[in-house]
Amino acid sequence: MADYLVIVESPAKAKTIGRFLGSKYKVEASVGHLRDLPVSKLAIDVENDFKPQYTNIRGKSDLIKNLKKAAKESKKVFLATDPDREGEAISWHLAHLLDIDLNSVCRVTYNEITKKAVTEAVKNPRTVDMGLVDAYQARRVLDRLVGYQISPVLWKKVKKGLSAGRVQSVVTRLICDREDEIDAFEAKEYWTIAAELQKQGKATVFVAKFHGNGKGKIALKNKEDADRVLSGLEGATYRVQDIRMQEKKKSPAPPFITSTLQQEASRKLGFSVSKTMSVVQSLYEGVNVGASGITGLVTYIRTDSVRISDEARNAARDYILSNYGDAFLPPYNRVYKNSNAAQDAHEAIRPTHVEYSPEQIRSKLTNDQYKLYKLIYERFIASQMTDAIYDVCNVDIDANGYLFKAMGSTVKFPGFTKVYEESKDEKNEEDAAKKLPALSVGEVLDLKELLSEQHFTQPPARYTEATLVKAMKEYGIGRPSTYATTISVIQQRGYVGKEKKQLYPTELGRIVNDLMKNSFPDIVNVEFTADIETSLDCVEQREKDWVSVVRDFYVDFEKEVKTATEQLEHVKIPDVVSDVQCEHCGRMMVIKTGRFGKFLACPGYPECKNTKPIIEEVGKPCPVCGEKLIFRKSKTGKKYVSCSGYPNCKFMTWNVPTGEKCPTCGGYLEYVVGKRGRFIACSNKECTYRKYPGKKKEE
């Protein structure tokens, strides 16, 4: 029988921690929350200080019974759930269930699941932090009030089963607003002129871009403007007018926080936000690295803090010195500061053991774990390295009184970029700058070609998961623990779709967003939502009472619900009309949304009950019979390609055919996604034909 009981959240974590603590400790998992608000009712007593009515979660009675038994058999119980609001609330609920005095030192927290961190934490327990618990309660109550009082309005006016959320609604609005910007965008024409130039007698070509004249920049708004300049450049001599050399330094990015890890994993690895959190959770909870056994490889993964411990910084500096040399180690410690105190509860996301390099333990990791661990490891090491230094050369070139500009840059010293460089959502010209040949003032250059090109301004880009997380972070919407869940929920609800990584509002999403904007403007107001998050931070810091925060919100919210219910009583939201005619009665069918997605229905219901699926064509012929190929969905929701001639033709494939035949065996070609990205392959498994994008030769 163990002397001490330690309760964590997940079985994987329990297994890792149990090995660290030894036989005197019994480690059990709560498997998340054990108590919560019941699903069947509001469960908030709005007349009695919004008191939540918690109940034991259905299906967990046996687990609770076992934990109570284990607690009675132990000298002391340690509550070792995650070190955040959610984890603190789980410990608080556990204390209630197991009759643990909240004034006792029973709470154990650690930033990393390593033997040293866990054993130190158990030696230094604290009381349950009621600031964190109350911040959790305020959020839970606010979310319940919004969800349970707005959702019935949506059921009545739009569709049964819909839901509104305090955070998900405003994030849906961000995506809808961006789509409105794109729809309203009017492209404007502009032209550019570029000169391909060479040093006399040299083959190397570099590009100089037209800027203007001695009076300033000249905008080329149309072809007439461009032709006017081109006419003035006929027979021009291209002469170097000025050369400016400049040394520029670039500093490394700080170690990852939750939002920046999600963004970078999306950009560099193509991971969705939910996939990133799933993979990094496994790295945090523990991996068997061989002789050392199971250990957590990264620190706590839900954090807004860029701070790292002195011990971790010193380990990184020792690693840099021994692997890259003194030139790559700054003479000072790099310290990154957070924007506010509420974000400093944890360290940044970093490796727990610098000695476990990604390559050293690669065989112990899955492919996804290796990729993400490598990203975290290299970002952390680079964050403590010296600046990268560039020599930047800016050249002004005169041609018949017109000014052209060329810029080039070369790496003088790589610094941190030897290990890692942060990617960007948008590349600028400086990123693409290349080395210029050695030039001198007064030098005459040869013109190889003068290029003029028409362009049009581009609308703002749709959000990707990466840029949406960035926006949520910048606007102060949600917190690290909610980014992934929120983005998943708005897609699962059918409010937002995803195409080629870009998020767009569905018709249902637009309808719900319009209703929310008109009837519940505060709920979908970015600033209002951010202010609530700030108030929750104040509750966490014990600067505000959680009941007063909820009360301040509810006074106006209750009025909005009442007004919306009355005003929407006689409002009917029209169905979206398709271009498909009902073959039974001749009416134009409308688009409905059901359990399995969108379908066509006759608006004449109940007189006419005709329905049919919405068919999405592939745009390629069936390689067996020549009929149209269409997309279908399996019972699990997975998309596949099928012949529209079914059941006469039973052709189906998980990949999309290209419509071309294999030059090697005559089979049909299809698009395949593999480790090397998207490529074309023969569908015949015995044929090895492959064609990769960007390659001239086939394999």
**Residues 128, 105: contact at Cβ < 8 Å?**
no
d(CA 350, CA 375): 10
Q: Which helix (H) or strand (E) holds 193?
A: strand 189-199
Catalytically annotated residue among 25, 238, 300, 324: 300
| Helices and strands of the chain, counted as H and E runs | 16, 30
d(CA 409, CA 407): 7
**Residues 356, 363: contact at Cβ < 8 Å?**
no
d(CA 167, CA 179): 19
**Residues 527, 510: contact at Cβ < 8 Å?**
no
Q: How far apart are the first and last CA of the chain?
A: 64
DSSP 195: E
Please write down the HEC assignment for all residues of 196-212: EEEECCCCCEEEEEEEE
Q: DSSP letters along 257-296, please?
A: -HHHHHHHHHHHH---HHHHHHHHHHHHH-EE-STT-EE-
Report how far apart, in Å, the C-alpha atoms of 244 and of each of 83, 196, 438, 514 are: 53, 20, 12, 54
**Residues 307, 348: contact at Cβ < 8 Å?**
yes
Instruction: Verify whether residue 300 is a known catalytic residue.
Output: yes
Q: Which two tokens stand for residue 371?
A: 């990729």
Q: Which residues on neighbouring strands pair with residue 576, listed in sequence order?
A: 591
Q: Between helices 546-567 and 507-519, what is the axis angle to 10°?
A: 110
DSSP 341: G
d(CA 212, CA 694): 36
**Residues 259, 483: contact at Cβ < 8 Å?**
yes
Q: What share of the chain is helix, strand, coil (3-state, %, to 5)?
A: 35, 25, 40
Q: In terms of C-beta density within 10 A (0-12 exposed, 13-18 middle, 19 or more buried), how is residue 289 classed?
A: middle
Q: DSSP letters along 639-652, please?
A: EEEEETTTTT---E
Sign of the torsion angle spanned by Cα atoms 85, 86, 87, 89? positive
d(CA 657, CA 640): 11
In angstroms and rounded to an integer, the radius of gyration of the C-alpha atoms of the chain is 31
Q: Between helices 367-382 and 258-269, what is the axis angle to 10°?
A: 120
Q: Which helix (H) or strand (E) holds 62?
A: helix 61-72
Length of the chain: 699
Other Cβ atoms closer than 10 A to 440: 8
Maximum separation of any 2 CA atoms in the chain, in Å: 96
Q: If we measure between CA atoms, which residue out of 359, 354, 382, 381 comes closest to residue 370? A: 359
Q: Which residues contact 260 (CB under 8 A, 6 or more apart)?
A: 253
Please write down the HEC assignment for all residues of 42-96: CCEECCCCCEECCEECCCCHHHHHHHHHHHHCCCEEEECCCCCHHHHHHHHHHHH
**Residues 418, 328: contact at Cβ < 8 Å?**
yes
Question: Which residues form the catalytic set?
Answer: 300
